[in-house]
Structure formats: C-alpha cells, structure tokens
Structure 1
C-alpha cells in the first residue's frame, strides 16, 4: 500500500515538472519569435554606434544604450551580452582600455552563464590585452589563462595561439626574452598547424623582436625576412614597413649603416604610401642617427628636423625628444655649442613634460583601475544576489504541489543544512581574509601617514625658505620701483640704469629660487631609472654646457677621469648633480682659477671629487650645507646670485641613487665636494670570467 502511494506521489511530481518545463518552453519560443523580429533594431543601433569616432563618444553611448534597452525588454541574455561585448570592442579599438575592460567584464559574466566558451575565450583575450596595455601584467596574465582554458575546452587552436602570443608579449615587455620566445614559439606552432598565414607572419615578427633584443641579431634578421615573405604575399604594407624598420635597427647595432639605410628607405616609401605619420617620423629619426654616425652633418640635421616636424604635428613627445637629442649632439660635434645648448634645453624640457605626463597618466590609470575593481566587485555581488533569487524561485516552484511537500521536505531540509554549512565556512574564510586585509591596510595607512608627516615637515621648511629668501629680492624690487616712480624725471640716466640693474638682479635671484624649488618638487615623485652610464662622457657633456660660465670668469675646468669607468645611475639626476656642483665651483673660484674633477674606485663604488681653489668655507658654513632648514646662499666671486637649494637637490638625488655626499673646505684655500655612486658591474662578463 505504501509503495503504491509513493508511486502516485512520484508520478504527480513528474507530471508537474513536465508541465512546468512545457510552460517554460512555450515562453522561450515566444521570446525567440520576438527576438527574431527585433534583432534588426538592435543591429541598427550597434552599427550606428560603431560609426562614431571616440570624439563623439556621447552619441555612440546613446546608440549602445538604445540597443541594450531593446535587449533588456526582450529579456534576452544573449542579446544583452552581445551589446556589452560590442561596446567593449568600441572602447578597445579607440584605446580607452579601462572602459573597454568594464564592458568586457559585464559581457563575460553573461557569456559564462550561457556557457559560450568561444565568446568567453575571445573576451578574456581582449581583457588580457587591455590590462597589458595598462601595465597591469598580473591581471592580464590571469585573464589570458582563463581565455586559454575556454579555447582548449572547445579545441580552438587559433584562439589558443592568440593567447600564447599575448602571454609572450607580457614577458617581452618585462624583458624576460627567453620566456617570451617560448610562448611565441607555441603560438607559431599552432598557427603553422592550422596554416594561418597572418598568424605565422605575426609570430615570426614577435620572435624576431625577442631574439634581436636578446642579442641574436642574425636569427632576428632571418625571422623578419620570413615574416616579410608572407606579408608581401598578403599585401600588408604596414606590417612590411614595420619589419623593414626593425631590420634597419638591427643593422644599426651591427654598424652596417649602408644596409640599414637601404631598409629604412624601403620602410619610408611604404609608410608614406599608407600615410602613417608616426612610423614616418620614427624612420626619419633612425636615418638621422645613421647620418650622424657617418659624420654627415647636413643630412643629419635635415632628417632630424623632418622627424621633429612630424612628431610635433602628431604630438609624439617620445620622438620629439629623440630628434632634439640628435640635433644637440650633432651641433656639439660640429663645435656649435650655442645651437647644441639650445636643442639640449629643448630636449630637457620635453623630457620633463614626458615625466609629468607619465606620472599624471599613471595616477589616472591607477584611479580608474581602482574604480573598475570596485565596480566589478559590485557586479559580482549583484550576480550572486540574482543567482540566489533564481534559486529561491525554482525552490518555490518545486513546492507548488501540495501532494509532494511531505515527500521532499526532509530532502530539502538536508540540502538546506548542507548549503548553510558551506555558507558558514565561506563566511568564516571571508572574515579571516577581510581581517588580514584590514591589518595590511592599517600598516599601509601608517606608512602613508609617516610619509605624509615627513613631506608636511619638508613643506613647512620649504615655505620658511621661500618666505625668507624671496623677501629680500622682492623687497628690493618693490623699493627701487617706488624710487623710480617717485623721482620720475628727476633721476639721471646713470641712476635709472643702476636702479634697473638692481631690480633685474633681484628678479633673477627670485627666479633662481623658484626654479630650484620646482626641480626639487618634480623629482620627489620621479621614478628612479638607473642604467649603465659612462662617467667621462657625461662629465664632458655637462662641462660643455657650463663652458660659457667658465670662460666668462677665465676658470679652467679639468677632467681627470678614466674613459672606461661606468656607474649605475639615473642619467637626468646625475647630470643635475654634476651641473650644480661644477657651477658652484666656478661661482666661488676667482678669475683664472682652476677646477679639477677626479674619480677613484673603492668597494664597488665610484668616488667623484670636484675640487676648486676658490674662497673656501668656514666649519659653520660646511655644517649648514645640504640642509633644507639652513639654506643660506652667498654671492660668488663675481657677485653671482644663487637660490641656496642646489646642494639640497644634490644630496637628495645622490642618496636616491644609493650614494652619499660630503665636503671638505679651508677658507681662502678651496673646497672639495665628494660623492659616491654604485659602480656598474656587468654580471654576464663576471660569469664568463668565472
């Protein structure tokens, strides 16, 4: 009897389930018919949106919103996902990577729900690329692996090849060339297997870039030529021109300048044919460097100016700086130091602008990525809530029949207990993780607090310096200006010239103070970029920039430094230190005096000494040097003014690079400013010697 009753209950439950399934099927069929009739409207809005450029982003967004409204009205997850994917692609193609990631993430959640592995793989590949463009390599790697997993599930080898190429590019950007070559080779194998010519050509180019940067130029040239064989067949002019330019770069390193020129001329013809101004500017810059190496002054200046003109037109600061540096060096080599100094100053100004722009962009990227992560967290929470609501709805539907309540109540109760237990475990893990994060955040906040406290203290000291040091020149300007106004026509020409000279000197001093403070402020947030620097070469360059100051006072600057000494330092910071110390030595040395720059190596450090036979300093003056709170400036032997901030800058820059600075001085005998920097050691050469 019990078995018979249980059979009836099972039959009723099965019948109700079939009825609900049939009802759902009818609803889906109806929606499909509606979607079919409205799909053209969605396509119309998407096509309209993609016709706009990024300058008309508001118009494009309006069309995307209209498309997504239709998709939502149809309750079609697939159409909503397609619109979000199209919107992400729009921002990706217009280089707005943070916004692209936002829409790709939203589309990814929906395609995951639809179990569309191909689209999920494609989207995560795009997300990985966008994160790599934003230098967020860890996140990029995570999404590339997710894309690879989906492509492998459906056996999409072309998709997998694209992912391997993306991973290889991450390691290439991180200069881990051996690992990047490994992934580019994997990508090449899959493209080769599937006879994908464009993919094969792209892989050859990637391999060429990696092996060339790793020092194997012969192999790099072989790969570039193999890539071009395919690209010529495919008539890809941009790809061919890029390869020709890269081949030219290889020949420059190999010092085969005629070969390099031949390939740069080929690249130039193609870039001009496709009107690619950026590539044309780069090629002109490369040709200028070859002409300089061949000591062809006229053509070097001609090509460098052509490159600079285009770079200014397209606002490419990187190419502008390269062209200005080439012009500075070529005029220096031709002993036209005035023109060399002009272009060197323009080069320094561009580099400063690039530094400020780079810091600003990184700050914006950092804030945008934080906002993106916050939005993604909110989306995930909403997704979980929607999933919970869906589960509750299904649960209620299963309880719709009174006859089966008693038979499944115990099962539901057990399931409930299991889910509750899992939820508790997840909650405990989440609480533990959040607690750990709070501790980390507390430590970070404390560190930031201490740093802000130090910065605030330094700021107060700087304000005191400004209040003190600017007071005198500004008061002088104000006083002598009042005298000129009050006297009017009563002053003779000689007296007026005296007043104007005093006003000019006061203005110069105030300008010097503010300029020193500006340089110091910029470099507080500058990222240290150390590299191998030839000390003698840099000293020679900086002394040439101070040649006019030395000639004016008839002071000799002698460099007694070996040509084979290399230091590990930031070139801009070290140049600033050398200019300040040598300029100060000239300032406090009498006419026909002598300044000697020497160096010695000890314990993997290079000690540089700048010695003068000038006025010297007392012990009190020596003890007050390099201090922000002391900061007293005195006039040079020819009444030169200074800001008093130069030595503060020098101490800050030397310590940032891992060195130290000090001074020895005797009144009326002279001063010796000494500082140390790490000696550059070639680890590869050490291993070979071992």
Structure 2
C-alpha cells in the first residue's frame, strides 16, 4: 500500500535510495530551489506511483525544513488525498496532524485547530494514545497563543497524563513536538534531529522530550498568570528531565523561564544566575530567539537592580541581534520572507518589555541630567541666567520639532504596517481559507464512502455534520469575501430607502432560527411599536444577519438572544444581546480590525473567517453610524447601532 508508514531513519534512507539523492541537509534557498525543481520534474515525469508518492513526501519534508510552509501545506494536502484514495485512514490522520502543526507555525490558529481536531477524532477512536497525546500538545500550544489559558492547560494536562502512562513502553515511535516552543527561525532542525535519532535510547528519550514540552509550556502559562509557585514547580521538573537526557536546547529555554519566575519572586541573584546560564547555552546553539528573550529579561532585572548602564547594554545587544537576523534573511535572498509566521504572544511581550525598560532607562538618564544641571546652575552668576534661558528655549523648540517629526514618522509607519497586514490577511484568506473546508468536505465524504459498512450510524451522522458545516463555511466565506472586496474597491452601491424595521428583523431571525433550535437557544424580538427607517435594505439585512449569527454562535445551549429597538428623537437604536460566553475588553477592542486575530470558535466549535463584523462596520459607516460592542466574560455581549427614522 502506498500509504504504508516508513518512520525515522528508515523512512529517510528509503527515500534517498529511491531518488538517488545525497544525504545532506539543504543549506541555502538556491540549493532548496534546485532540489525542489528536480523533485517536481521527477514527480511529473514518473509513471511509478510508489516513486511519485515518495517524491511527494520528500517535497513535503524539504519545504518544511527550509521554512517554505505554504508549499509544505500543498504537498501534505496532496499526500492526504492519496491516503484517502488508498483507504489509509491512519496516514490520513497523520497528515491532518502535520497540517495542524504547520498552521500553528503560520499562526493561522483556526485552521490549525480544525486539522488537529480531525486528527484527534481518529487517533482517539482508534486507540492511538501517543498520537493523541501529540495532538493534545499541539492544541495546547494553539490555545496558549490565543491566550485562552484554561483551555491550553486542559489540553497540556491531558497530554501529560497520556505520556506519563506510556513512560514504561519501549516500542513507541518518536515524534518531534518541539514546534510549540522551539520555533526559532534561525535554527537548523535537520542536524539536531538526525543527531538525536542516532543517539542511544532514542525511543525511550522521546517520551521525556514530550514531557519536557508539556511541563515547560505549563510552567510558562502559570508564570503569565502570576501563579509563581506552580510555574516554578513545572519548570524545575522540566529542567530535571532536560538535563537527564542532555537536551541543551530545552535547558536554555527552561533556565530563562525560571529566571523570569525568580525575578517575579524578588530572588535577583537566582534570577541572574539562571538567565546567564540559559543565555550561554542559547548562544552556543545559536538559538537567536531564545537569546532575544534572555536579553529582555536581563534588561528588566538590571533595571530592577538599579544598573541602568548594564540594562542599556542588554537593550543594545537585543537591537543588534534582531537587526542581524533581519539582515541575514535579506542577504540570503529569502523570497518566501513575506510568508514567515506572524509575531506571537511571546515576541509581543518581549517587545513590550523592551519598550518599558527603555523608557525607564531614559527616565533615569533625564533625572541624572537634571541633577547635574542643578549643580551647575548654582555656580553661575545671575547675569548668566538670561543666556541659560535662551539656550533652554532654543533646545525646547528643537526638541518639540523633533518630537513632532517623530510622531509623523510613527503615524506613517503605523499606517503602512496596517496596509501591509490588511493585504497579507486578505491574501491568506483567499489562498487557504477557501481550500480548507473543501479538504474537510472531500475528505470526510471519501472516508464515509470507503468505510460505510464499518462505521456506526453515529459516526455517519458525525461525518455528514462535518460535511454540512464545511459547505456552509464555504458559502459564508465566498459571500463575505466578495461583498468585502466590492466595498473596499468602492463598487458597492448604497441605496437608502424606507424600510420596515420590524419586518426586516423578523426575516433576519428566520435565517438563524434553525441554528438556534439545534442549540435550544430562544430568540426574542422586543419591539414596542412599528418603526420605519431610512437605510439600504440589503446592507441592513446583512448587518442584522451577521450579528444574530454571531450571537447564536457564541451562546451555549439553552441560552437566549434578544433583538430590541429604542427610539430617541429621529434615531432608532437596534440592539442584539445574547447570554453567551462574553469577551474581555481587549478582545472587544480588536473586533473590527482585520489584523485583530478574532477568529474564535463558537460554543459548538463553529468556525468563521473574521470578516463578518468588519464588513458590517463598513456598511454602518455608509449609514453615518457605527456598531458599538459591550461585553462581560461569562455573561454575554451586546451589539448596537443607530439608523434614521422616517
């Protein structure tokens, strides 16, 4: 069978023997391009299905290891289709797991969650505990990056339970799950992995590696929640495992994490020793992102200890190393640079800490300069005060001019970054969000067809439900993409007319009634009188439909959604309120931003593209209004807007 799994060193050797390629890691983009072209040519010309399949797997491996993640996704998706055609469900599930990991690196967490969940359904049903544990780790990483700490902790603890129970099994296949933490873009994973596979006791150590990943992740999460004692326990346990198997890479990460914990506890000397030890290892292994983390923590520690000069040194080292990383990428001619993963939570926190340290250092410097100036002024005679005043006035004007120019530059930079992020987000949706539901639809349709007699009625219903959801997702995505594109290009017509608000609300409720009934959600319309408004009927219907759809999506079973209207003068305020899961103030502030990453799953794992609310806000802007959002976590959300009464 083509889908038969070949793992570890055996798989790599078979591929190289069949293709006649030298066993050496790819070092540059030029060599990657050359090897890839040769493999693609071989794939297209060969009639041997076994060779074509092995070439496809090699292309996936090269694309991933060279950082060309989008190509890796395409190749792995083709592998998945081949597995389905061969009826190899286990290999298909492994492909879904790999897609989930890559989408995690790309920070496309809705797709990462989707593919990982597909893999988990099969692994759990078929009793593949280790594979299920691996998938729990990836899901933990996804929810950690989404800052949903409780969900992340739940998945990591389930993974921990599995790997603890498997710790005495000697016949387990090793897997590489360091992506959740060791995502250093400057690190060459190939030689490290090959060396680890060659080491004695590789299979036994793989369980230790998984436990290190889990405990390190849990330690970092609890540290972010300021639950210091729990964080220290997990990180200390992880450090013991890492030193026991000689995993220096994780040792550096864990020591820096412990340094952050000691810093919060006020143990400055322990923090300094741990951070310096982690920094030294990271430098030796050239883990540049880990080195950057160490610099930010050491700068913070130096400021706390009153050593501003030392803090300046660490901040300067941080800036130089980051510039060096960018320059290396540019000089290497990485044409895929714009596909690199976005900035994660850890990097945003490091940047924020860097700015705080710099502001503190500047404040200390200003204070020192002020003291020196006061001492100097005491030695001047009264007649020199006029000269000092004029110089001070001149410097103040110069400083004000510079500050205005800096603000102008920062505003222009921010606008340019927003445009770039908007473009990249839109291209990402077009390139991948359309393909994702099609893969699920075709995959489960083929799976149900090939295994129709073996699966239960409940499983058939589950597969049909996934196919139905994928179809609805495709339609919703296409509708939102086309409408949003027309709005951005100014090709959408705004035609206000007299509209019966009560009738339009009733029609909107009918659209979501079926979804609400499936979740036992009660829909209410609270109108005290008939109201006619001036609005574009199609746009207003789209806004109401999107708000009601989101309300049902984020309301748990048995809840309620209410649409009400308040009239004040010549304005009608329409309110859509739910008793759902609610949002934090930070989440509310990011609702209407294309780069806000607000593509959360609903209470029944419903998915979306994140374009709906943005499109609705654009429509209300045309009505000279805007959508306002209020929310309380655990109690529900309320969205409102106003239109003119006629």
Name the TM-score, length of structure 1 as normaliser. Answer: 0.40
Higher helix share: 1
Greater relative contact order (CA < 8 Å, ≥ 6 in sequence):
2
TM-score scaled to structure 2, two decimals?
A: 0.42
